[in-house]
A and B are shown apart, each in its own frame.
Chain A
Amino acid sequence: MQLGIDLGSRTIKVVVVKDGVLIDHAVAESGFEPHVQSRELIARFTPSRIIATGYGRHMAHKHFADEVITEIKAHALGARHFFPECRTILDVGGQDSKVIALTQEGRVATFQMNDKCAAGTGRFLEMMAATLGFFLDEFGAAAAQSDQDVPINSMCAVFAESEVISLKNRGVPVQDIARAIHISVVDRLAGMLQKVGYVDQVIFTGGVANNFFVVEALARKLGVSVLVPSIPTITGALGAALHTGGKCQAGI
């Protein structure tokens, strides 16, 4: 039994795998002390090996994990578990978004990350939902109620917030603004996908894949099918749990 743990910016995800089959999973807020949260999460299981991924992977390695892999590799392994043929993965989490291109055999061929800027991340959608007075899980549905094209020009989360406030004060309905925000995120993600290149279908993972409006708008924009695993947030943790060692961490 192997346990994969993904220590993300917003949540910690744990997946337990036995003989290549997902047998259990758990998710918790990262909180202020992620390694304490992580210990509580893992305490429920008795794994033979723990593999950590995500921003907190090295801290986990120091405290309890046997091995670390990057979230790029973890998502590649996790996405292939759900979709064995997939070649393109889009992962949008709380802090960053990434596009991973795989070879036919499933090795990482190239990747692109947006990690310097909140635009096009879950955090951006969360901030914008709060500015407009929506809960995050109803934000996509609000956007779907509009069919108006209102352009949001600012890609920067800070400037976009001022732009949204001025739209509100011009009397633009909140649903129209919600739609505009979603479209700006989709445009940004589509740009990353076009830069890396995508084949046939895109596997969409991470928390933002739970937003059906983003998924549908992206599929329309790219003209390909965008497929979401049943629990998109645990893809990285699953990939870590499926990792079967081999390469040593440091050559030094």
Chain B
Amino acid sequence: MKPLLLTEFEKMRDQNLMELTAAHSAGRKVVGTYCLYTPAELIVAAGAIPVSLCGTRQAPISAAEKYLPRNLCPLIKSSFGSAVTDTCPYFYFTDLLVAETTCDGKKKMYEILGKIKPLHLMQLPQTQEGEDSFHYWYREVVRFKSRLEEELGTTISYSGLKSAVQLLNEERQALADLQDVCKHIPSPISGVDLLAVLHLRNFFIDKREAILMLNRLTAELRDMCSAGSSPFRPDAPRILLTGVPVGTGSDKVIRIIEESGGSVVCLESCSAYKKVAPVDESLEPLTAIAKKYLLTPCSCMSPNNGRLELVARLAGEFAVDGIIDLTWQACHTYNLESFTLQQGLQKHHDLPFLQIETDYSEGDSEQLRVRIEAFLEML
């Protein structure tokens, strides 16, 4: 009972790589990104192609451990490992890498990565509060614009930026619409499949095509809702997953939740719901871009009240039965924030909460299964 369009998204994996190869040979520039803080509008306005780089697979981790400490989060090790083993085709085609000083592990890893490829590091403030933080980040956005112009030999125009903002807002709306379909009881799509779509979207070369396909999938899922078609029974426990970034290859926990009878209806993570807040089109574009990205509710910010507000709101809107907070091992910021999040949520909802700390490997699958099954039994 999977939506038919899923296969088309799968096919786009190869299609996108072919398009990227062709675009690259035709002289288009490619800018590789790692994080939701990267203002992709600037890359689009510069006429370059933004691509997300690999970092969700277990395989390259052992290669990364030759350079990086073992007790580092798997996402950082996987990203770095994909780059040094040259197993990420997108990394291969990348002319410029963009990274941000989010957590300690990432910023120090980027120092090493910068020796392999040209890397532009955006300095993030540590807080979203106050005028100073905004001005600091605004100047970083301007600096990134200059670097792009210099590196790609182009000028980013006001009108180009305006239309890039519109285009990416349209994409965000398409992503929000798609995820909002899961508010239906029961959800017409599994969390694993939803994540696969969100993950594959990262690699689309043509944003317009991505928007069209997302909207077609949303329409198909709405039809499935009307026809009463779903992979779940109406009483399947509805789960909101929050926490660290996830993608295909690092979807172990979502898979176990759904194998155990739960339905992951909402992902409050970087490639999912954290992403959908739009850039304000009524403001001067650089200011609007700086404002929007600074408000990304990541645990690297202190305080990070935005995440609590977002999780609390989504838990209500998606009518969830329980919240699972996923932490990658050695991710101190998300690990510590779990306590604050759980305490804060108690003020909004009386929802059961489970924190899971794991990595990309399958070694603890059975232990996780006990916790997750017991959590679902509780609901």
Chain A residues within 8 Å of B, Cβ to Cβ: 55, 58, 69-73, 96, 107-111, 113, 115-116, 247-252
Contacts and interface: CB of A to CB of B under 8 A. Distances in A.
Nearest to A68: B373
30 contacts: A55-B370, A70-B374, A70-B377, A71-B374, A72-B370, A73-B374, A73-B377, A108-B374, A108-B377, A109-B378, A110-B378, A113-B370, A113-B371, A115-B364, A115-B370, A115-B371, A247-B377, A248-B261, A249-B261, A250-B259, A250-B260, A251-B186, A251-B232, A251-B233, A251-B237, A251-B263, A252-B190, A252-B232, A252-B236, A252-B259
Contacts of A251: 186, 232-233, 235-237, 261-263
Nearest to A71: B370
B377 A116 contact: no
Contacts of A70: 370, 373-374, 377
Contact of A96 (B260, B367, B369): B367
B258 interface: yes
B378 A107 contact: yes
A17 B91 CA distance: 61
A179 to B, nearest CB: 30
Give 4 nearest A-B pairs by CB, closest first: A251-B236, A72-B374, A70-B374, A251-B261
Contacts of B262: 251
Q: Which of A58, A107, A250: most chain B Cβ within 10 A? A: A250
Interface string B349-379: 0001000010000001011011101100110
A102 to B, nearest CB: 11
Given A250-B259, A252-B258, A108 B367 contact: no
B231 interface: yes
Nearest to A73: B377
A221 to B, nearest CB: 24
Interface residues of B, number: 26
Contacts of B352: 110
Given A73-B377, A116-B364, A252-B236, 10 more contacts: A58-B369, A71-B370, A72-B374, A107-B378, A115-B367, A115-B370, A116-B367, A251-B236, A251-B237, A252-B259
Contacts of A116: 357, 364, 367
Contacts of B370: 55, 70-72, 113, 115
B235 A108 contact: no
B117 to A, nearest CB: 36
A249 B373 CA distance: 9
**Most chain-B Cβ atoms within 10 A of its Cβ — which of A70, A71, A109, A248?**
A70
Contacts of A109: 378
Interface string B251-291: 00000001111110000000000000000000000000000
Contacts of A71: 370, 374
A69 B263 contact: no
A249 B231 CA distance: 15
Contacts of B373: 70
A70 B377 CA distance: 8
Contacts of B232: 251-252
A96 B374 CA distance: 15
A196 B367 CA distance: 19
Contacts of B258: 252
A207 B259 CA distance: 30
B56 to A, nearest CB: 22
Contact of A250 (B261, B357, B366): B261
Nearest to A54: B370
Nearest to B258: A252
A105 B346 CA distance: 21
Nearest to A113: B371
Contacts of B237: 251
Contacts of A110: 352, 378
A135 to B, nearest CB: 29
Interface string B224-242: 0000000111011100000
Contacts of B186: 251
A55 B154 CA distance: 60
A115 B371 CA distance: 10
Nearest to A96: B367
Contacts of B366: 55
A244 B7 CA distance: 42
Contacts of A96: 367
B231 A252 contact: yes
A232 to B, nearest CB: 19
Contacts of A58: 369
Contacts of B233: 251
Nearest to A249: B261
Contacts of A250: 259-261
A247 B379 CA distance: 11
Interface centre among B236, B260, B357, B373 (most CB of A within 10 A): B373
Contacts of A111: 374, 378
A111 to B, nearest CB: 6
